[in-house]
Amino acid sequence: MLMQCPFTHDVSATFAEVVGMAGLDHATHDALMPRAMASVGRLRAEKASGKLPVLALPNRRDDLVAWRPIVDRYRSQFSDVVVLGIGGSSLGGATFCRMADSGFGPNAGSPRVWFMDNIDPWTFEALMGRLDLARTGFISISKSGGTAETLAQTLAVLDRLNQRLGVDDLATRMTCIAENTDNPLRTVAGHYGLFCLDHDPNIGGRYSALSVTGLLPAAIAGVDVEAVRRGAASVLEAALAAETPNDCAPAVGAIINVGLATGKGVNQSVLMPYVDRLERFGGWFRQLWAESLGKDGHGTTPVDAMGAVDQHSQLQLYLGGPRDKLFTLILADPSGHGAATKAQVAGPAAEALDYMMGRSLGDLLAAEQRATAETLIRNGCPTRIIQFPTLTEEVMGGLMMHFILETIIAADLLGVNPFDQPAVEESKVLARRYLREGIG
C-alpha cells in the first residue's frame, strides 16, 4: 500500500493473484513500468523548466493574493454568485463548492454559488427568476473567450441586469476570466467596463481547477484555497521525487488502467466515492479522463457513481455483468459520526432492527463501503481503494493532482496527446453554422 499524503492508494486488488482472470498480470505491469518512469522523468523536467504551467500552480500564492479583493467584495456584497461557464470552466469550481456546501445551502457567512453550466433555457429562466439580482454577482469564464454557450449566457445576463439595475451598475456585478487575447468575451467585457482576469493560455480548461478558474469560485464559497494547493503540492512533490513507478501513486494508477485496458479488455473506469461532498468530483474526473485519452481508438470510458446510493442501482451490473470495469472506491472514515439509531418498537420488529441499534449513520456507511469493496473483490472485479480519515481541502487538492498526473502518464503510455481534443471541434463548427443559418 502506497502512502501518498494526504491519502492512501491501495491497488493490491487489481492484480490477477487477488481477483482472478480479470486482474492485471505482473508481466504486463512490469513491461509498463519503464515507460511510466520515463513519463515521470519528463514531468519532472517540464516542472523544472516551466513548460507545463499546471505543475507550477500548487506552489504559487501570488495569484491568490492578486484576486483576493474580488473574493472579499463578492463575499460581502452578494448573497448569491452565479458562475457562467461550461466544461472545464465550471467543473473544477463546482467540485470545490460542493465540498463547501452541505447540499442544503452554503456555509454561514458565504454566498450560495450557482453554476450555470448548461444552456437549457428553462433552467436559465428558473434560476434568474428566483435570484434577487440586486444581491447577485456573476463570473463569466471561457478560456478561449469564444465559447458559444458562455457568450450566450453572458449576453443574456447582461441584458437582464441592464433592464433591472441599469448599465452603470454592471461593472460591479460581473467579472470575466479569459485568455488575454483579442476574443469575444474580452470584447464584451471592454464594452461594458467589466474587469477581466487572465486565463493562462497554456493551461487547458480540464486542467484548470487549481487555477483562478476553479479557485476563485471556491474562495468565494469559503473554501481554503491555500490548503487546496498545499494538498496538490504534497502529491506532486511525492510523485516527482519517486525513484521507481511503484513509489509514485499516479504512475501506479496509470499502469493499472492502461495494463487492464490493453491486456484484459477493461474499457470502463468506475469512480465511486462514498462521500456526498465528492458528488461533483466524478464529473470533473470524467471530463479530464475522457477528453485527454479518447483519441486514435484509445481510451477507457469514465463512469461516475456514488456510494451508497448506487449500490441500489448500478451494483447489480457491476457484479453480475461483464468484467470490463476497473473500480476506484474513494472512502473516508465515517465510523461513529452522525445520529445513532434507537429502538422505537418492541417484539419481532425490534429483533429485526437489533443489528443496527446503537449504531450511527456513519457506522452504517462504513459497513456498507467495506462490504461493497469486499464483494467486488470476491467477485473478481479489479478494485483499487483511495482512503483518508476525512475530506479536507488538502485531500481535495491532493486528489485532483493525483488524477491530473495519472491522466498525463496514462496518455504517455497510450501514445496520445493529453492536452488536445480534436474530435469535438467539428461539432462546434457545425453548431455555429446552424445557428447562423437559423437551423434549430
| Per-position DSSP letters for 229-246, written without gaps between them | HHHHHHHHHHHHH-SSGG
The percent of residues above 70 in pLDDT, for the chain, comes to: 97
Closest CA to 11 of 423, 420, 377: 377
Could you tell me if 240 and 347 lie in one domain? yes
Given this model, what pLDDT does residue 3 score? Answer: 42
User: How much is the average pLDDT of 41-56?
Assistant: 97
User: How much is the average pLDDT of 274-298?
Assistant: 97
Could you tell me if 306 and 329 lie in one domain? yes
- pTM assigned to the model: 0.95
Could you tell me if 297 and 394 lie in one domain? yes
User: How much is the average pLDDT of 55-62?
Assistant: 97
User: How much is the average pLDDT of 32-52?
Assistant: 97
Q: Assess if residue 422 is contained within a domain.
A: no
Residue 264 domain boundaries: 2-45+227-416
Q: Please pick, among 279, 291, 394, 406, the residue that the annotation labels catalytic.
A: 291
Q: Assess if residue 396 is contained within a domain.
A: yes
d(CA 256, CA 392): 27
d(CA 122, CA 250): 41
Q: Assess if residue 189 is contained within a domain.
A: yes
Could you tell me if 376 and 282 lie in one domain? yes
Residue 63 has pLDDT above 90, yes or no: yes
Dihedral angle, C-alpha 381, 382, 388, 389, nearest 10 °: 30
Residue 424's pLDDT band, with cuts at 50, 70 and 90, is confident
Domain end among 199, 226, 253? 226
CA 428 to chain centre: 24
Residue 355 has pLDDT above 90, yes or no: no
Could you tell me if 243 and 111 lie in one domain? no
Residue 105 has pLDDT above 70, yes or no: no
312 classed as catalytic? yes
Could you tell me if 379 and 249 lie in one domain? yes
User: How much is the average pLDDT of 376-396?
Assistant: 97
Amino acid at 190: G
Query: In Å, what is the CA distance from 187 to each residue of 191, 332, 430?
Result: 6, 46, 23
Residue 316's pLDDT band, with cuts at 50, 70 and 90, is very high
Domain end among 226, 259, 289? 226
Q: Assess if residue 22 is contained within a domain.
A: yes
428 classed as catalytic? yes
User: Of 394 and 169, which is predicted with more confidence?
Assistant: 394
User: How much is the average pLDDT of 315-326?
Assistant: 97
Could you tell me if 343 and 212 lie in one domain? no
Q: Please pick, among 26, 51, 191, 428, the residue that the annotation labels catalytic.
A: 428
Burial 175-208 (b: 16+ CB within 10 A, else e): bbbbbeeebbbbebbeebebebbebbeebbbbbb
CA angle 183, 187, 189 (to 5 degrees): 120
Q: Which of 35-49, 88-102, 366-380 has the lowest mean pLDDT?
A: 88-102
Please, what is the average pLDDT of the chain? 94
Could you tell me if 212 and 148 lie in one domain? yes
Q: Assess if residue 438 is contained within a domain.
A: no
Helix (H, G, I), strand (E, B) or coil at 383: strand
Count up the domains in the chain and report the number. Answer: 2
User: How much is the average pLDDT of 370-383?
Assistant: 98
Could you tell me if 242 and 214 lie in one domain? no
| Secondary element (H or E) of residue 7 | strand 7-10
Domain end among 187, 210, 226? 226
Could you tell me if 247 and 165 lie in one domain? no
Q: Assess if residue 137 is contained within a domain.
A: yes
237 classed as catalytic? no
Q: Assess if residue 240 is contained within a domain.
A: yes
Given this model, what pLDDT does residue 244 score? Answer: 87
Q: Which domain CATH number covers 274? A: 3.40.50.10490
Q: Please pick, among 243, 312, 342, 437, the residue that the annotation labels catalytic.
A: 312
Q: Assess if residue 421 is contained within a domain.
A: no
Q: Which of 72-81, 342-351, 363-372 has the lowest mean pLDDT?
A: 342-351
d(CA 23, CA 7): 23
Residue with cell 456555509: 107
Could you tell me if 237 and 375 lie in one domain? yes
Helices (H) and strands (E) in the chain, counts: 17, 11
d(CA 189, CA 4): 43
Residue with cell 461516475: 304
The percent of residues above 90 in pLDDT, for the chain, comes to: 84
d(CA 391, CA 6): 10
Strand duo 174-178 + 195-198: pairing: parallel
Could you tell me if 34 and 128 lie in one domain? no
